[in-house]
Chains A and B, each alone.
Chain A
Amino acid sequence: MNIKEVANIAIKAGEILIKSGAEIYRVQETISNIFSSYNVKSESFVVLTGIIISAESEDNQTITLVKYISGSNIDLKKIEMVNSFSRTLKNNPLNYEEAMKKLEIIESIPIYPIYVRLLAAGITAFVYTILFNGKIYEAIIAFFISIVIYTVKGCFENMGLFLFFNYFVSCIIAGILCIVSTIILPYADIYKIAIGSVMILVPGLTITNGIKDALYGDTVSSLYRLTEAAFAAIAAASGIGIVFTAVLRYL
């Protein structure tokens, strides 16, 4: 197999990993694993927005590939499958077509049907409202608000809106729904409902991954992730904050 095909396989695997939200060191490890299982000398540079790979063939020819990557959607199953793919490659190096076919299958793995995801979003909100010491009826309200937020967020994502605006508008809607629910049920604590129902938007994973990247020495990607997390938190909280400060004093 020539080096260009190996580099293509490596860059595709790296792209899937970054898009699914893997840490940078894992991407780098996978890429160098793929190259070493075909016995190709290589060097790679990975940041969150792109991959640069340079590979050297036995007759001293060098090729370099650059791939720009934008957007990410956390998908643990893809990370897992690319990981096992690079492991099997070590013992039994596939040819180019087989390997690319396998990666394409991994890339098009379906996500759960919409009702499972909606239920999961709702139960997440329910659980965290109670963990934050809310009452059962507050948790039930948060359950429904969270389902609405998840639907709205999904619609905006399909429309291609960028993350900050998406979170902002979703949280404005969530804030309005919280206020409506406290008008109907005056005893409910509005802040508990709000915290529980926006829990699915909270960028906890991004914060933790950002710090992990920094500890592994990938400071550029770490800053990128932390900035993204900060913007997401600011968008979510200011969306709710604007609605609450505008309306609550009149209640």
Chain B
Amino acid sequence: MKYLALSFTGSLILSFMGSLCPALLYNLDMKKAFWAGLSGSVGWLTYIFFKNYTDQVIFATFMGAIAVSIYSETLARLLKTPATILSVSGILPLVPGSGAYNTVQYMVQNRYQLGLTEGIKTMASAGSIALGIMIISALFRISTRKLKL
């Protein structure tokens, strides 16, 4: 679909910057913003891989969110920060911001059918991101609790 025109390096750099710059807007310090940017690249490349493989946007978003979450939970333990710090910026390329925007844009243009389709897609993508992050963080939580006991 729309993202396939970019080369591998191109999308790597773009998704890195696309997570690093919002992380700076969210006032993260430079060193952690770098790792946050890298989590964006991890999520985006996973997303593109599964999207080419299955041609299913919502499934690809889910897998991207899982990749971001595994990355940030692992790195959070190494850097000793909350995992959210890294995952919040990492999921930004996956977050259906344009979907939310398109939904209302269609409504404004009297194209309600398209608006409804986009709206459902947006909700499903946002839900699948949250679900992916939830599953992984719950798994990590269970494993650390068991180790402590």
**A26-B84, A76-B23, A120-B21 given; A212·B93 CB < 8 A:** no
Min CB distance A79 to B, Å, is: 7
Interface residues of A in 40-97 (CB under 8 A from B): 74-80, 83-84
Bound Cα distance A119, B129 (Å) = 28
User: Are A120 and B22 neighbours in the complex by a CB distance under 8 Å?
Assistant: yes
- Of the stretches A6-14, A31-39, A230-238, the one at the interface is A230-238
Interface residues of B in 57-74 (CB under 8 A from A): none
Bound Cα distance A240, B106 (Å) = 12
User: Are A236 and B24 neighbours in the complex by a CB distance under 8 Å?
Assistant: no
User: Are B25 and A241 neighbours in the complex by a CB distance under 8 Å?
Assistant: no
**A195-B98, A195-B101, A237-B104 given; A204·B92 CB < 8 A:** yes
Min CB distance A251 to B, Å, is: 16
User: Are B105 and A237 neighbours in the complex by a CB distance under 8 Å?
Assistant: yes
Min CB distance A207 to B, Å, is: 5
Does any Cβ of A come within 8 Å of B15's Cβ?
Answer: yes
User: Are A233 and B100 neighbours in the complex by a CB distance under 8 Å?
Assistant: yes
User: Are B85 and A80 neighbours in the complex by a CB distance under 8 Å?
Assistant: yes
Nearest A residue (CB) for B137:
A212
Does any Cβ of A come within 8 Å of B28's Cβ?
Answer: yes
**A79-B84, A204-B97 given; A131·B15 CB < 8 A:** yes
User: Are B25 and A80 neighbours in the complex by a CB distance under 8 Å?
Assistant: no
**A117-B24, A123-B17 given; A207·B95 CB < 8 A:** yes
Between A26, A75, A84, A202, the greatest number of chain B beta carbons within 10 A of the residue's beta carbon is seen for: A202
Interface residues of B in 1-53 (CB under 8 A from A): 2-3, 5-6, 11, 14-15, 17-18, 21-29, 32
Bound Cα distance A121, B21 (Å) = 7
Determine which of A22, A74, A207, A234 lies in contact with B126 in the assembled complex, contact meaning CB atoms within 8 Å.
A207
Does any Cβ of B come within 8 Å of A211's Cβ?
Answer: yes
User: Are B134 and A116 neighbours in the complex by a CB distance under 8 Å?
Assistant: no
Determine which of A124, A127, A204 lies in contact with B96 in the assembled complex, contact meaning CB atoms within 8 Å.
A204
With a CB–CB cut-off of 8 A, which chain A residues contact B131?
Answer: 215
With a CB–CB cut-off of 8 A, which chain A residues contact B88?
Answer: 76, 205, 208
Bound Cα distance A131, B19 (Å) = 12
Nearest A residue (CB) for B128:
A211
**A79-B82, A124-B21, A233-B104 given; A111·B27 CB < 8 A:** yes
12 extra interface residue pairs, beta carbon distance < 8 Å, beyond A130-B14, A205-B88: A26-B82, A111-B27, A116-B24, A119-B21, A120-B24, A124-B25, A132-B2, A200-B22, A202-B101, A204-B97, A208-B129, A244-B108
Interface, chain A (partner B; CB < 8 A): 22-23, 26, 74-80, 83-84, 109, 111-112, 116-117, 119-121, 123-124, 127-128, 130-133, 191, 195, 198-200, 202-205, 207-208, 211-212, 215, 229, 233-234, 236-238, 240-242, 244-245
Q: 29 A-B residue contacts at CB 8 Å?
A: A22-B84, A26-B82, A75-B27, A76-B26, A76-B88, A76-B89, A77-B27, A78-B27, A79-B82, A79-B84, A80-B81, A111-B27, A117-B24, A120-B24, A123-B17, A124-B21, A132-B98, A133-B5, A191-B105, A202-B98, A204-B97, A205-B88, A211-B127, A211-B129, A215-B131, A237-B100, A238-B108, A242-B108, A245-B108
